[in-house]
Structure 1
């Protein structure tokens, strides 16, 4: 009896210990500070020793970082084209893009081990590449490339991951995005029936190879070959597409303030700052021929570090190691949680909003000009602006939208509709008959714009009035020049 009682006590102790362990593990898994600090604290001093672990697939804890990768097999149509009324005809679409998957912008350790042409699950990668090559071969014309005639049409389809260059996966992303939008809008805008003229297609790209190739891949999916032959690429000198409204002293001052605030904010989260420094020392390396002077500190910009880490994560490569120290996925997800939280905070920041208003003014002005053309001339039918994450961030901020960090291949569409019931009674088009929908990555953002709150359809007059009457209200100014010089 005495032995049995001892055994019962031992069993109870073991069961209680296991229960406490599982409870603690569950708390660490499901409970954490929203700004990512808790996730970071548990890993800040735990860079693992030995070989790195192969990343197999996303799970509940890593979905945020994998969301930024935007694998081709997960790209699908959302609420694009879904209007609440049948008495509307689609007149035009304006599409704003971030380029597809690319190599890192900074020198990454052991990048030669990363296969940037990895065949993702669920995608017939070889078929996609062949389709893209054939489409561009059939559709290529002397005028298509415009000022980019010296650029290669496609990225290399080998496994090498080149610094800042579009990958084969990136080309597949853009082709997929163009294809789903063609199925959504093509019949309604007359794609492939001979009704499109060259003046109906307007395409701009920044001067980087990755954006030009992304544009071509997207157009190859969006337009039939006979319509793609009518397109001409135009160059934007600025990633903000500011055209003639670029120079702005106040915007530069706000940028410097943002940089300083970001550094201060990072240092106010010591756990995150230590993680960034440790992870950067492992993931980043100095470029060859960096000089013989003192070794520089690894870059401690968390956004640049996340960009580097995406090279490994998005291509299912082992996380990097240095001096037998390897990064762990928990550190990557902790960094992503912090940056996502910071992005949400910035969306409510008045300085960030003012900066976006100034940076995006030239683009918003160009958008309104094209919308006015659609009303008066019914063209262009399709306008494409192929840029970068900052392009979409500035535009979203200027329009008052809360949109997370744009992922690879992100798309933002402005749909232009006209009321059908008024067409037969009105000879001359009127702005009051035209409406907008704004859709970001398949999500209807129309009710969240600063000038069209809580509305499913936005009268086109609202964005025109916003540009001419309300745009510079946060600066207590009436025009771009005064706002940029601080003359309120």
Structure 2
């Protein structure tokens, strides 16, 4: 009896080991074929979002009208009839706009993608063509212009004898970023406030409070009209309590970390830092902002609340591609072809949010302008002439560096599409540390505040 039990245990362990092994990577004898690529990129270099005094200088950094007209050729914007909500980070005048440097960065990214995908995704049978690409963008001038510049590089600036490439901006401001205004649900703001009060975050804020005031004071002479009214960022939304008719309350508080970081980055890159600030100050501020974003968005409940809709769309896009390819193979008839390449033009916060909700390795540094997250849908086929499909895998990378998935039993370079879909839909809760009662729950695509605090 004991021998039988040991034998059964050995068989179970062998099956479990085999299952875990097949989960972690494809069979080495299989054929791997790239079926679809999704690219989510940050826009190119921009002027500061927060208005500064020297408007003429920042205007001089922007591309000339004929440049913008040139990159826009062959594209058409698709907007909802009711328009999109304007985000606080949208920018005004010369602020928050794509610079000429940004145009060149994005054209270069387009060239890089063409080189990466030629002969792997696009082939002689299915060459690079506008009909095989789908574009979505947040409705910000800088993200729209960024993807237009990218397309210029992708197609080598050629004038294509084809319908215009549509750039879909319909309601994208509501879910392609983790901090839409308004949020997808008001409960997310309550959750952000709750997470911001965690002891380790509060302690870190106290440690860096002096630096926040130092940088704010140093920037006072640079701030332009309306600078104090700009508000954006996870856990840093401007509340009514921050406002006062005479502005006294606002002056007592330092600028929000997200604003400090974005102003310093723009000034430092152009050697315009105030004399009282150093490169080290910039690095500390940027490092803290990155830490704050990851600390908040890495919490699964907030990650799902903020980015599930976008991540779920990406997974559904890949699942639809698999299903359409399967139907075409079975019927051997032509169907409406799903795009080979899907491009989403967005923001650094988008990349951070996706890294968190997809539970990928964190990069060593904050995603720079023009950074891109790539999701590759890979079909595993049995070696030989049968073309039997064994599995569909997804591989993620940031700027060409593979990011391993951290939600698996062991960090994996590739994960099965089916398991990724299961992970995206997993449920999460937050409980009160003192009473043990449930405070927030994320389930079936919705965030619920289950107990008043």
Give the structure-1-normalised TM-score: 0.64
| Offset of residue 485 of structure 1 | 4.4
Q: Could you tell me which residue of structure 2 aligns to residue 392 of structure 1?
A: 351
CA deviations 1:19-57 (Å, max 9, x no partner) are xxxxxxxxxxxxxxxxxxxxxxxxxxxxxxxxxxxxxxx
Higher-helix-fraction structure: 1
Matches within 5 A, 1:24-423: 87-113=31-57, 117=61, 136=71, 140-141=73-74, 144-147=76-79, 162-190=94-122, 195=127, 200-223=132-155, 225=158, 226=160, 229=163, 231-237=165-171, 238=173, 240-241=175-176, 247-258=184-195, 265-287=204-226, 293-294=246-247, 296-297=250-251, 299-314=254-269, 316-320=270-274, 326-343=276-293, 345-346=295-296, 350=299, 353-378=300-325, 379-401=338-360, 402-403=362-363, 404-421=365-382
CA deviations 1:231-262 (Å, max 9, x no partner) are 3111142253389xx73343221223355666
Q: Give the one of 370, 378, 401 matched to 1:443.
A: 401
CA distance in 2, matches of 1:228, 1:466: 39
Q: Is the 8 A contact 2:177 2:347 kept in 1?
A: no
| Offset of residue 422 of structure 1 | 5.7
| Offset of residue 372 of structure 1 | 0.9
Q: Secondary structure at the match of 1:212?
A: helix
CA distance in 1, matches of 2:424, 2:384: 27
CA distance in 1, matches of 2:202, 2:55: 28
| Offset of residue 89 of structure 1 | 1.4
| Offset of residue 406 of structure 1 | 2.7
CA deviations 1:113-166 (Å, max 9, x no partner) are 458649xxxxxx99xx99x779737xx34x6333399xxxxxxxxxxx921111
CA deviations 1:366-425 (Å, max 9, x no partner) are 111111112112422111111112222221111123245332212100011112436842
| Offset of residue 169 of structure 1 | 0.8
Q: Could you tell me which residue of structure 2 aligns to residue 479 of structure 1?
A: 444
Q: Give the one of 422, 444, 448 matched to 1:465.
A: 422
CA deviations 1:250-306 (Å, max 9, x no partner) are 322122335566677423434323323323434434449999945651752122111
Q: Give the one of 454, 471, 475 matched to 2:411.
A: 454
Give the structure-2-normalised TM-score: 0.68
In structure 1, runs of 5+ residues without a counterpart are 1-82, 119-124, 150-160
Structure 1 residues 134 and 400: alpha-carbon distance in aligned structure 2, compared to 1, 3 A threshold: same
| Offset of residue 84 of structure 1 | 8.5
Structure 1 residues 369 and 355: alpha-carbon distance in aligned structure 2, compared to 1, 3 A threshold: same
| Offset of residue 450 of structure 1 | 2.0
Structure 1 residues 460 and 136: alpha-carbon distance in aligned structure 2, compared to 1, 3 A threshold: same
CA RMSD of aligned residues (A): 4.0
CA distance in 1, matches of 2:29, 2:223: 53
CA distance in 2, matches of 1:133, 1:318: 27
Q: Is the 8 A contact 1:282 1:326 kept in 2?
A: no
| Offset of residue 95 of structure 1 | 0.6
Aligned length: 367
CA distance in 1, matches of 2:203, 2:153: 44
